[in-house]
């Protein structure tokens, strides 16, 4: 009797349960295509997260990936997002010539399927500057061990060999599409999206702790492009863009202080600084490096007013260079600014400072004693606005000044500046004969 009961239980376990598992398909009605064609930044995560909310539950999500890498913190956020969803996901490294380097390779390892286009590559995920202490010592070893364990866990959970992914981190290995297919770390080399349907059909994957068989009977493709705001944020998240926006903003604010009255350069400069601030919010900004850049700009400006025989300029340029090299170097990752951009900016600043110093030197020979170069002594202009019979707004050297006159003037009358009050920035004028 006992043997019959055990036999019935074995028949139920070995026969009925597998049938129940196989009878639990995942019907794919839509292949939702997302595109990541930039560095991995918080803008990338925001795009994927918002797109996930719009994608139907019965979708296979395909991420077209082409990235040089990015922030490790954001990479882990994206992996968590993928793991928390109950939908299958495929990473397709495309188009021809594209790569999934560094953070891109780690994201690919978390996908249920990995596809590559001909002529693409994946790998080179060795951490470079992932934290302030990433050197040849314990800090670097800690970061590499953490990422190695991460890709090993992801690969094993997806049924892929983990060794090649580990080599991408420990040895900076990079694999072509053919090498990756031979190693068994991708699911196929494809040239079109339609090939995905055949490659995933009837495949069994683990979703939310359950084995699901993918069914592709009637499938349509739908593309989810980033919104305008996400595209702008993606541009602003570029470190070179943020760097240039900041420098332009600082330069325009400086010009506003040197040529007050119009508020045009100051207003535009403030807008550039706000845009740079948005960029800094999504990048690993190092405030020490930012302080070096500000100090460098201050020293370069100070050179105009203080006779230091070039010492302040040299110190300012050194501070400027060091701050620029490590501006985006924080605990969440390291992204470098393109060296040609830093070099061209440095040459531009040095040339401008040299021209200003030369011009001041030449003009100092013509100046009267105790006369300030930046004030419009003896400059000529014209009347813009009549405030009252003896008070006006005049345009002098492209600047708008508040002026008083001992005689009544009319609009557009030519005038000459006779004196300037440096405390109130009011000037006295007289009509030019």
- For the chain, which domains are there? 20-227 (3.90.226.10), 230-364 (no CATH), 380-431 (2.40.50.140)
Alpha helices in 201-338 (DSSP H): 228-236, 239-258, 264-281, 287-305, 311-325
Which tokens in the block code for residue 272? 């550039």
**For 216-225, 300-309, 325-334, 335-344, which range has the lowest pLDDT when averaged over its residues?**
325-334
pLDDT level of residue 188 (50, 70, 90 thresholds)? very high
Write out pLDDT tens, residues 288-317. Answer: 788 888 888 788 777 666 666 667 777 887
Q: Mind listing the pLDDT tens digit for each residue in 261-298?
A: 557 777 888 888 888 888 777 777 777 788 888 888 78
Task: Determine the 3-state secondary structure of 374 from DSSP.
Answer: coil
Q: 13: pLDDT confidence band, cut at 50, 70 and 90? A: very low
- For 26, left (φ over 0), alpha (ψ -120 to 50), or beta? beta
Question: Looking at residues 98-120, what average pLDDT do you find?
Answer: 91
């Amino acid at each position: 009797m006992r043997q019959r009961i055990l036999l019935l239980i074995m028949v139920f376990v070995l026969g009925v349960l597998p049938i129940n598992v196989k009878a639990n398909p995942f019907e794919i009605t839509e292949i939702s295509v997302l595109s990541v064609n930039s560095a991995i930044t918080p803008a990338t995560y925001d795009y994927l997260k918002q797109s996930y909310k719009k994608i139907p539950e019965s979708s296979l999500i395909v991420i077209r990936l082409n990235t040089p890498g990015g922030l490790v913190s954001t990479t882990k956020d994206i992996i968590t997002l993928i793991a928390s969803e109950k939908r299958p996901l495929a990473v397709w490294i495309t188009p021809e010539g594209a790569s999934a380097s560094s953070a891109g390779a780690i994201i690919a390892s978390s996908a249920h399927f990995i596809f590559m286009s001909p002529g693409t590559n994946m790998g080179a995920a060795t951490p470079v500057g992932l934290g302030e202490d990433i050197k040849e010592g314990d800090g670097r070893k800690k970061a590499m061990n953490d990422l190695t364990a991460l890709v090993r866990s992801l690969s094993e959970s997806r049924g892929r060999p983990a060794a090649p992914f580990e080599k991408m981190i420990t040895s900076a290995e990079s694999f072509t599409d053919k090498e990756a297919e031979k190693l068994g770390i991708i699911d196929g080399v494809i040239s079109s999206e339609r090939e995905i349907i055949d490659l995933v059909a009837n495949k069994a994957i683990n979703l939310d702790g359950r084995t699901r068989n993918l069914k592709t009977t009637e499938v349509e493709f739908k593309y989810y492009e980033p919104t305008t705001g996400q595209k702008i944020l993606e541009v602003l998240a570029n470190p070179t863009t943020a760097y240039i926006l900041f420098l332009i903003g600082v330069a325009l604010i400086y010009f506003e202080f040197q040529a007050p009255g119009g508020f045009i350069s100051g207003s535009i400069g403030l807008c550039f600084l706000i845009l740079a601030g948005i960029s800094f919010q999504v990048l690993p900004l190092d405030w020490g490096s930012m302080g070096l850049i500000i100090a460098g700009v201050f020293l370069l400006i100070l050179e105009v007013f203080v006779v230091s025989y070039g010492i302040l300029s040299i110190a300012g340029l050194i501070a400027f260079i060091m701050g620029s090299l490590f501006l985006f170097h924080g605990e969440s990752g390291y992204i470098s600014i393109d060296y040609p951009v830093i070099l061209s900016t440095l040459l531009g600043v040095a040339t401008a400072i040299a021209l200003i110093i030369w011009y001041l030197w030449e003009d100092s020979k013509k100046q009267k004693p105790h006369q300030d170069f930046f004030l419009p002594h003896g400059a000529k202009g014209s009347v813009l606005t009549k405030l009252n019979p003896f008070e006006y707004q005049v345009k002098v050297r492209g600047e708008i000044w508040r002026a008083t006159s001992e005689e009544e003037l009319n609009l557009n009358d030519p005038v000459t500046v006779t004196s300037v009050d440096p405390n109130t920035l009011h000037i006295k004028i007289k009509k030019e004969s």
